[in-house]
Structure 1
Amino acid sequence: MQVEGVKRSGGGWRLIAAYVRVTDKLSDYVGYLAASLVFAMGGVLMFDAVTRNLIKMPVHWAVELTQFMLAAYYFMGGPFTLKNNEHVRMDLWYSTLSERGKAKMDLATVWCLIFYLGVLLVGSISSLQYAIATNEKRFSIWNPSVIPIKALLTVCLVLMLMQAFALVFKHIATLRGEKL
């Protein structure tokens, strides 16, 4: 993607455009990887149904693994959803605004998102540190470690924060009459 007005804006804007481009591509990659988890979840649940009903040998880990995969799907889909502007929005006035008006509204509200994600990130880091220090496991027959899913949550929150800042830059570009 080429940034319109880069020549007059200087090298700083080029760096921002590169950041937005890399963050968008990373969000796309993670989002498509998350979408593939739907098939993996279906496969695990099908395997569980076959072993439980046909072979009469239930696997106790299948449903719990699917729950972990669903959590991963949710975490990994967040940055992709932000990037593609597919999140839920109260649309009473927003749809009536011009592009610049939408950019102003989005620029004002994205800071609430950044604050929220920052608080979540601090909590997820603390939770991950605790899980690592205590080798935390789920209390079940399978007894899996929760470290991988908590680590994934932390990484995905970092990516969501990166995407939120990319949105800030996109909204500023829109207000400047440029496009990232």
Structure 2
Amino acid sequence: MHYIDKITKYLGYFTALVLVILVLLVVYDATVRYMFSSGSIALQELEWHLFDVIILFGISYTLKHSSHVRVDVFYASYSQKIKNIINIISSIFFILPFSLLIIYISIDFVLLSYEQNEVSSNPGGLEYRFLVKSLLPISFLFLILQTLSHIKLDWKNKK
């Protein structure tokens, strides 16, 4: 499972790079729009697509570093053994089924977009909308892999 953690680490680095690019694009877009009264629909859509990359690929990286949302009011006071058991149970009964459901539903969503050669409805918008939609099943596949790695680690540390 070490290779999964390595993939997730590099996915996190990629996401950080995309975040830097997004910040630069937003600064450029705002500067051009307010100082020169100009702008680009395609650039604004690209910003949204980069935001999608950050959110979707950041999910597995966040799980790897246990930075995801949980109710820490009770969790913080539990022993490490109990925390590991809770992590295993929540991974098996919540993260994995939800991720599999998202993948199952989103594959048809992506295929339909690809078959229709879906483009932006805005004039001057981006083409190949299926590319950004394909991030959905891919990102949840990464989440499944990271969850399995997390379960193995928690199982090993449970004893």
Q: Please, what TM-score do these two structures have when normalized by structure 1?
A: 0.81
Structure (1 or 2) with the larger CA radius of gyration: 1
Distance in 2, matches of 1:67 and 1:41, equals 9
Contact 1:100 1:174 in 2 (8 A): yes
Query: CA offsets, 1:117-173, max 9 Å, x none?
Result: 110111121111111111112211233221111122221111111011111111111
Aligned counterpart, 1:105: 86
AA at the equivalent of 2:45: E
Q: 1:22 offset after TM fit, Å? A: 0.6
Q: 1:72 offset after TM fit, Å? A: 0.7
1:114 aligns with 2:113: no
SS in 1 for 2:134: helix
1:127 aligns with 2:109: yes
Match of 1:164 among 126, 130, 147: 147
Aligned counterpart, 1:16: none
1:142 aligns with 2:113: no
Q: What is the alpha-carbon root mean square deviation over aligned residues?
A: 1.4
Say how many residue pairs are matched: 157
Aligned counterpart, 2:74: 93
SS in 2 for 1:61: helix
SS in 2 for 1:96: coil
- Shifted more, 164-173 versus 141-150: the winner is 141-150
Q: 1:50 offset after TM fit, Å? A: 3.3
Aligned counterpart, 1:58: 39
Contact 2:45 2:125 in 1 (8 A): no
Query: CA offsets, 1:3-22, max 9 Å, x none?
Result: xxxxxxxxxxxxxxxxx211
Contact 1:27 1:163 in 2 (8 A): yes
Distance in 2, matches of 1:150 and 1:127, equals 8
Q: Please, what TM-score do these two structures have when normalized by structure 2?
A: 0.91
Aligned counterpart, 2:157: 174
Aligned counterpart, 1:77: 58
Structure 2 unaligned regions, length at least 5? none
AA at the equivalent of 1:123: I
Query: CA offsets, 1:41-98, max 9 Å, x none?
Result: 1221222233333444322222211011001100110110010000011123211111
